[in-house]
């Protein structure tokens, strides 16, 4: 009986995730709101958005998640989002495996952005990488940050206030306030004036 209940729940969640249009956004808003640790007003979750482990996620107000975005906050993980977050399509915010991600106020995330707070362990040669577990990390995006299309943010990185990360960049180290960075790995292009 339990297996039937689990499968029925999966079907309902699948239908809810893919429910189109304004009605889909409103239904998700109503049904998801109380599943988060906290959730402010005006949270819009587009169709195709997959959220795992709501109980480890805090959302502020005025959150817009683009089509097909994914948010993972598994066991011992946490995601905290401030106010006024806007994401484009296919964004992944992933704190699984003990990671921590904090996104402060007024942040813009372009299409296909990946924010991944943990990484695979690989120090041992006698064990396959897929059996070595993960190393948890932290990522903080300070206020007024803009990540362009296809940006990847790796663990243990802070993006400073008012900074911009150019499209296609891979960020491996901290970015100072009001910096414009780009490249693989990222380099300082200029400071915002």
To the query of whether residue 193 is one of the catalytic residues in this protein, the response is no
Question: How would you write the chain as a 3-class SS string?
Answer: CHHHHHHHHHHHHHHHHHCCHHHHHHHHHHHHHHHCCEECCCEEECCCCEEECHHHEEECCCEEECCCCEEECCCCCEEEECCCEEECCCCEEECCCCCEEEECCCCEECCCCEEECEEECCCCCCCCHHHCCEEECEEEECCCCEECCCCEECCCEEECCCCEECCCCEECCCECCCEEEECCCCEEEEECC
Q: Which member of 120, 134, 142, 193 is catalytic?
A: 120
Active site members = 120
């Amino acid at each position: 009986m339990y297996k039937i209940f689990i499968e029925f729940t999966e079907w309902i969640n699948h239908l809810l995730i893919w429910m189109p249009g304004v009605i889909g956004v409103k239904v998700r808003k109503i049904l998801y709101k109380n599943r988060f640790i906290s959730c402010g007003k005006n949270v819009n979750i587009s169709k195709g958005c997959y959220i795992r482990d709501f109980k480890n996620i805090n959302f502020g107000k005025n959150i817009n998640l683009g089509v097909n975005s994914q948010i993972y906050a598994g066991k011992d993980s946490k995601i905290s989002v401030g106010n006024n977050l806007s994401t484009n399509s296919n964004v992944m915010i992933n704190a699984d495996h003990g990671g921590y991600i904090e996104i402060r106020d007024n942040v813009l995330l372009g299409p296909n952005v990946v924010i991944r707070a943990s990484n695979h362990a690989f120090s041992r040669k006698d064990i396959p990488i897929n059996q070595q577990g993960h190393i948890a990390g932290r990522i903080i995006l300070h206020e007024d940050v803009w990540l362009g299309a296809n940006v990847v943010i790796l663990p243990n990185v802070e993006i400073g206030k008012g900074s911009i990360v150019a499209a296609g960049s891979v960020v491996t180290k901290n970015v100072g306030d009001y910096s414009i960075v780009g490249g693989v790995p990222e380099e300082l292009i200029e400071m915002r004036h």
